[in-house]
């Protein structure tokens, strides 16, 4: 249901470079949060509370050698901070649910690279430690299994290499007379099936596809590494643009 609502809104942006689409979405969310905050809080009161906070901080620094006076100032500062937080709570509560929903969509749509047509990939069937035997994979005609279609469980896993043409498919893994299926999407655009499927109370613990994690920012064009190697995923990229846009919008709209 959520995909049917959000896809028409955000899917066109998936045709853009990931860093651009994430930047647009993060700026749009920051604008939404800022506007809700602006019109659901008494900005005159918020400005006054902010001024009092700064004034109290200054007085507390000057009163470090006067314990009694410092304690009174600290109590007053706590009251002011509580009033400020109370005023901020309502807009935060209202924007929390939509943001969580959008985050869920982003995680399902832009956290990984797609599996491309003709690209080799793996499907790994993970078992609970005490299960042994063979696993057999059955695939549609458009999917090719590279190597044997039956694999022996080794180190609690059975790994299959595959490739195929563009489309949406269902892989079926048979173990001990029971079938376990996993959705697969092969696409040229930014689209993929859930990378991992978990099973409860079954010999099979999970089935995982080998989609690579999407790197939205790669400053040094490296193949491996994390943030300190200049490689930033979708969440880190979102946080960077969100912080910058939020600070800019709050200053531009004079939000307190």
Q: Is the pLDDT of residue 14 over 90?
A: no
Q: Where in the chain is the domain with CATH 2.60.40?
A: 121-209
CA 198 – CA 230 distance, rounded (Å): 32
- Residue 64's pLDDT band (boundaries 50, 70, 90)? confident
What DSSP assignment string belongs to 49-89?
A: HHHHHHHHHHHHHHTTT-HHHHHHHHHHHHHHHHHHHHHHH
CA 145 – CA 135 distance, rounded (Å): 13
Question: 3-state class of 132 per DSSP?
Answer: coil
pLDDT tens figures, 175-214: 999 999 999 999 999 999 999 999 999 999 999 999 999 9
Q: What is the average per-residue pLDDT within 140-145?
A: 97
pLDDT tens figures, 73-128: 999 999 999 999 998 888 888 888 888 888 888 888 999 999 999 999 999 999 99
Q: Is the pLDDT of residue 65 over 70?
A: yes
The pLDDT assigned to 101 comes to 87
- The CATH class for the domain spanning 121-209 reads mainly beta
Identify the bridge partners of residue 234 per DSSP, sorted by sequence position: none
More confident residue, 211 or 67: 211
CA 195 – CA 80 distance, rounded (Å): 47
CA 131 – CA 151 distance, rounded (Å): 14
254: which 2 tokens?
A: 């004079």
More confident residue, 172 or 8: 172
Question: 3-state class of 185 per DSSP?
Answer: strand
């Amino acid at each position: 249901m959520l995909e049917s609502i959000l896809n028409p809104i955000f899917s066109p942006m998936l045709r853009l470079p990931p860093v651009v689409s994430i930047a647009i979405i993060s700026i749009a969310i920051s604008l939404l949060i800022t506007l809700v905050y602006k019109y659901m809080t008494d900005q005159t009161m918020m400005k006054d509370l902010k001024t009092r906070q700064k004034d109290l901080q200054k007085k507390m620094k000057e009163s470090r050698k006067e314990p009694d006076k410092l304690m009174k100032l600290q109590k007053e500062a706590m009251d002011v901070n509580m009033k400020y937080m109370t005023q901020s709570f309502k807009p935060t509560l209202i924007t929390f649910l939509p943001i969580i929903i959008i985050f869920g969509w982003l995680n399902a749509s832009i956290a990984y690279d797609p599996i491309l047509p003709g690209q080799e990939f793996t499907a790994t069937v993970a078992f609970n430690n005490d299960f042994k035997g063979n696993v057999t994979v059955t695939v549609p005609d458009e999917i090719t299994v590279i190597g044997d279609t039956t694999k022996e469980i080794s180190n609690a896993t059975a790994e299959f290499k595959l490739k195929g043409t563009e489309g949406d498919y269902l892989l079926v893994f048979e173990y001990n007379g029971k079938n376990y299926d996993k959705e697969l999407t092969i696409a040229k655009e930014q689209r993929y099936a859930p990378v991992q499927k978990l099973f409860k109370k079954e010999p099979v613990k999970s089935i995982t596809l080998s989609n690579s994690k999407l790197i939205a920012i790669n400053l040094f064009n490296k193949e491996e590494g994390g943030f300190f190697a200049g490689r930033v995923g979708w969440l880190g990229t979102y946080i960077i643009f969100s912080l910058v846009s939020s600070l800019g919008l709050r200053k531009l709209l004079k939000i307190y």
